[in-house]
Amino acid sequence: MARRREVTLISGKQAAKSAIAYFRELMDSTTGKVEVEEIELSEGQKHWTVTLSWDQGLLLPIKYKVFKVNSETGAVTSMRMRRG
């Protein structure tokens, strides 16, 4: 009988840290305060979806980015703007 491979998943906190590090690496230092808005493990537990927000200043609206983070490796596999 085939043995199932034991998979160790990273935590939601680790996924958020990966998303923040990736975001900071890509963006310049003027992004202001970055906050975690949402963290969700996908139904198949293949990735975490992490939503980050950052304030651009007094007159500009808050922006949001959504990241997919591999739940085994912690690598960011996609980043997109959140609409609305």
Tens digits of per-residue pLDDT, 42-57? 999 999 999 999 887 7
Q: Is residue 2 part of a domain?
A: no
Residue 5 resides in a domain:
no
Residue 2 pLDDT: 63
Count of domains in the chain?
1
**Considering the domain boundaries, does residue 65 fall inside one?**
yes
Q: What is the pLDDT of residue 51?
A: 97
- Rounded alpha-carbon distances, angstroms, from residue 83 to 3, 21, 50, 59, 66: 43, 22, 14, 19, 10
Enclosing domain of residue 66: 12-81
User: Is 50 inside a domain boundary?
Assistant: yes
7 in a structural domain:
no
Q: Which helix (H) or strand (E) holds 50?
A: strand 47-54
Report pLDDT digits (tens) over 62-83. 889 999 999 999 999 999 998 7
Residue 44 lies in a domain: yes
